[in-house]
Structure 1
Amino acid sequence: MAETVVTVGLGDRSYPIRISSGLLAKIGFDLRQRDIGTKYGVITDDTVAELYGKQCLQSLESAGLRAELITFPHGEANKHMETVAALASELAQRGFDRGDALIALGGGVTGDITGFLAAIYMRGIPFVQVPTTLLSQVDSSVGGKTGVDLPEGKNLVGVFYQPKAVYIDTDVLHTLPLDELQGGLAEVIKYGVIHDADFFAFLKKNKDAVFALQQDVLTRLIARCCEIKAWVVEQDEREGGLRRILNFGHTIGHAVEAASDFQLIHGKSVAIGMCAAAKLAVRTGCLAEQDACAIQDLIERYELPRSIPAELDRQLIKKYLLNDKKTIAGRVFYVLPEAIGKVMITNQVSAHDVDAVITCPV
């Protein structure tokens, strides 16, 4: 199947998102043409290293590029400053300098950590994204958001730092656990709700093909998400306004994820957050009940959770909401749907409505 390329247009910092089956084996050749770094540090977690570390190194070395694999323990629980510091020390000990570059090989945690590390090591070295989960392919690898978590909340420390390229090999999704595939599909559904009603309908129609990982459907799905995100980032790179629409489902979702001590994966937390946002939208009068039901039904169709687990502490969720990085002067910003394909951004949601949605059992 022919390769699909989506461009993130940011002037002299523009970069391609290449999408294709079997792309991992071709990365080295493409990087050699781009001349991004003298030596490459492939940053990955210990799980992905076992699956794709050797293949990535072989791709680089066969193109005549020097590369070294550097790993860290997998999981959101390791997405913190100590991991970044340990990786930076490893780079220094191995002699990486300003002429070198990093490769983020893995999911969203790896991409966020590696991007942040690249932004601060030697005051900034280039990096590229090679996302290996659906969530990172359709969302976190694109747009330049990097960062790590604090005990007080998710992604509270970070910078905007764009990659030089994104390489999406659809074949790697065949080794992705079902749980992680479903988590990525929450982000996919998000794009339909915030910007594209036709894409929302496409997802409703093609659920079986998506779960079967049919190549043509996967490529179209990933490319459309990347196109929407690229369009948003081009207009609002640093989240001054429009880019906030990408946070649909994330405000309450991040709070739920943190309250679960990250036992509930990001994508499933976002699914819960999207359902909660739809309920808030109905309560505030900006969304019709039938559209809210359509959002919840599609989330359920993709076998994602719709409600906050009963065992989670609601007061703790509220605490994390107030610590959300999008909160300003004590007011939380929410992205609320007005229709399928259209959302609004508001900080005028009452605590009473939030309480009602958070405490709602279904």
Structure 2
Amino acid sequence: MSIFKVELKKVVDDSYEIETGFSLEKKIVQDIQDGLVGNIQKFAIITDSIVRDLYAQPICEQMVKAGYQAEIFSFPAGEKSKTRATKEMVEDAMLAHGYRRDCCIIAVGGGVVTDLAGFVAGTFGRGIPFINYATTLLAAADASVGGKTAVDTPLATNLIGLFNQPQKVYLDIATWKTLPQRQLASGMAETIKHACMASSDLFTFLEEHMDDIMHVEQGACEHIAKENCKIKYHVVEKDEKESGLREILNLGHTVGRAIETVSDYRLLHGEALAIGMIAQALLAESLGYMTKDMVERVRSLYQKAGLPVTIPAYIDREELVKKLYTDKKVKNGKLRFVVEKGIGNIVEFEPGVYATPIEESVARKIIAQL
């Protein structure tokens, strides 16, 4: 018998830039010409049916004009498309068009697009580079930063995927002007969540400037884009693979994701998250970490953004309770919640532990209040 040890120790630098601005289509092409992804000449532009003509097509045309091979691969817009079947469809289409390991993916769209495209990039040819061009506030606040890529299944959301960092992220605030108000409001949900968990100053800014943001005023929007990136960076920097601290980014998601799924995606992610954030605030109050006034400030800010704060009547409460157990924070069959501490902080239950077991009876009581 013999043993051969394979030594594969290595140091990895996954650093990348996040560029925020208005109308960045020409900038992405210029960066690629300047060597952003080396000498790659073939680009697969992954997008959805809504964004395709608005932003993906102009980027594709500029890429072709600059001498690159670029083609668009799109799928129907919406969370229901974030599946293994869609991923397979995109991969097969890329293969059919001659794409191999010598290509790069450009994801143009919101969170569904960046999640799915980043997952494709991580497995296609055993890994190819990708760039995120975020066109929604939700993607700017959450999905385009941090390297979490995944698809949903009928049993759970975001549990099939991998951590995969992009070469660069572009946050084009000009694209927010074409968003319906409902989509813009949905994107605000993650921004408010970031303020609740990490910045009382940002929370106050949102209270004072919500109307400016909802009208896509440049200064206010650039400020929240920068603050979102900064808050998420400080978490991801310390815990890239979600072994502890990064769980705080799931604030409000235990109930929020369950509501989103049980609604059969009639609710947008941010709408479901808003309700989930009120649920965790009520839980925090019951545990002594927030006052009634603090809970009311959170509720009022979500309402000011035009987001729901109660569970719709059509949601089956029993199905919702069952769905809570598909949350990725569940351990040993126990529900676990991240809990807000005041405005702008999170409870650390013990060193490095940011989620606590909660009995189903307690969760039911909170849901009954919504």
Task: Provide TM-score, normalisation by structure 2.
Answer: 0.93
Q: Compute the displacement of 1:67 (Å).
A: 1.1
1:107 pairs with one of 105, 110, 133: 110
Q: Which amino acid aligns with 2:176?
A: L
RMSD between aligned residues? 1.3
| Maintained 8 Å contact 2:334/2:359 | no
Q: Which amino acid aligns with 1:30?
A: D
Residues 249-287 of structure 1, C-alpha deviations (whole Å, 9 max, x = no match): 111000000000111110100000000000011112222
- State whether structure 2 residue 288 is matched by structure 1 residue 285: yes
2-structure distance, mates of 1:31, 1:328? 44
Q: Which moved more, 1:327-336 or 1:252-261?
A: 327-336
Identify unmatched segments of 5+ residues in structure 2: 1-10, 348-353
1-structure distance, mates of 2:213, 2:49? 28
Residues 132-180 of structure 1, C-alpha deviations (whole Å, 9 max, x = no match): 1110011110000001011012112111111110011111111111110
Q: Compute the displacement of 1:35 (Å).
A: 4.1
What's the counterpart of residue 3 of structure 1?
none
What's the counterpart of residue 55 of structure 2?
52
1:40 pairs with one of 32, 39, 43: 43
After superposition, residues 174-323 of structure 1 pair within 5 angstroms as 174-323=177-326
1-structure distance, mates of 2:253, 2:34? 38
What's the counterpart of residue 7 of structure 1?
none
Give SS of 1:12's match: coil
2-structure distance, mates of 1:59, 1:190? 37
What's the counterpart of residue 29 of structure 2?
28
Q: Compute the displacement of 1:94 (Å).
A: 1.1
Q: Which amino acid aligns with 1:197?
A: S
Residues 231-262 of structure 1, C-alpha deviations (whole Å, 9 max, x = no match): 11111001111111111111100000000011
| Maintained 8 Å contact 2:43/2:106 | yes
Residues 297-340 of structure 1, C-alpha deviations (whole Å, 9 max, x = no match): 11111111111112201111111110112211112221111110
2-structure distance, mates of 1:19, 1:231? 18
What's the counterpart of residue 351 of structure 1?
360
Give SS of 2:163's match: coil
**Percent identity of the aligned residues?**
38
Is the alpha carbon distance of 1:35 and 1:192 closer, same or farther for their aligned partners in structure 2, counting shifts above 3 Å?
A: closer
| Maintained 8 Å contact 2:247/2:355 | no
Number of aligned residue pairs: 352
| Maintained 8 Å contact 1:29/1:59 | no
Q: Compute the displacement of 1:98 (Å).
A: 1.3
Identify unmatched segments of 5+ residues in structure 1: 1-9
Structure of greater Rg: 2
Task: Provide TM-score, normalisation by structure 1.
Answer: 0.95
Q: Which amino acid aligns with 1:12?
A: D
